[in-house]
Amino acid sequence: MKLSIRDLDLKGRTVFIRVDFNVPMAAGEITSDKRIRASLPTIRYALEQGAGVILASHLGRPKGKPNPEMSLKPAAVRLSDILMRPVKMASDCIGPEVEAMKPKPGEILLLENLRFHTEEEKNDPEFSRKLAALADVYVNDAFGSAHRAHASTVGMIRCMGQAAAGLLMDKELEYLSKVTQNPPRPSVAILGGAKVSDKIEVIRNLMKFVDRLLIGGAMAYTFLKAKGEPVGKSLLEEEKLELATSLMEQAGDKLMLPVDHVVASELKEDAACTTVTRIPDGMMGLDIGEQAVARYASVIAAARSVIWNGPMGVFEKPPFDKGTVAIARAVAQPGILSVVGGGDSEKAVKSAGVADKISHISTGGGASLEFLSGIELPGVAALTEKA
């Protein structure tokens, strides 16, 4: 088990907190501050414990040089508004000017975008040393970046005495571990999305411990084609048919595929569609059908734990969102330990009005996928083990 921020003595010390302020922006304005709000419990805890707080994050892909459009200044303003206290903004993330801005206990300093330096993504030792020199202790609360071995997630930890998980990171690791390490049974995994290739390792790892693996989304058509079923002009990975056959052989009865499909001749909003059990030529599968929803919902209803990653259809274009929304409602039943990861799955539980009934919605799409694949996340591995 990793050290938590709750295990640290923070009074009078400067704490470096790696947060995930990689927020969506449009015309210089933050369009969703969800990630900033997700970091609030850790920031407030550090302040309450009498620490001076340094926050660090990346934003976008500035390719190693300053880009005003990817400045974290709007995040400093938003955080200040939420906390109703000043948040100082540094013009850089390293250097004498930044060092001179060291926050006193109760103060907050937000560093400028870490990725304005190429050394961040290269995990450069000297850059890591300069970041580490800013603080006494390190906390990682950016689960969404924990699968990256960068200077701010791995490199600087080697230069510091203690490195702990923040409260958000704690929560992510707690819930993802609950559903992957001896999960409450029956245990069900639901996987959707476009490509089998994106989820190969997830499927291989999950089939080791779940009781049922429900497949939806376009990736289902690669499996169905491998079984010899017609898929019309549905999205398909021809080069993965052999792999799909192998995965089905390994999974046996655990793996379930849709038995009916909502099809249309083209993908457009409000396109004329019908439900079929065999997809005709010239038509494409765009959602799971009512029979598939009923079968999947029945399996979910009997489950005690559920992992869900990826939509069941082209969720962003009605009427092809119905299968995904129905599955969201099935997962949100009381008595199920439910962990949802991935942007579309999160949108689904929100649009179905059941987000508050999900045990945990992961903040890290790529990181949660790697965790579910059984891959050790560098940003987690680097944290200090509890004694």
The residues annotated as belonging to the active site are 35, 195, 343, 366
List Cβ neighbours of 369 (8 Å cut-off, separation of 6 or more): 198, 199, 202, 309, 341, 342
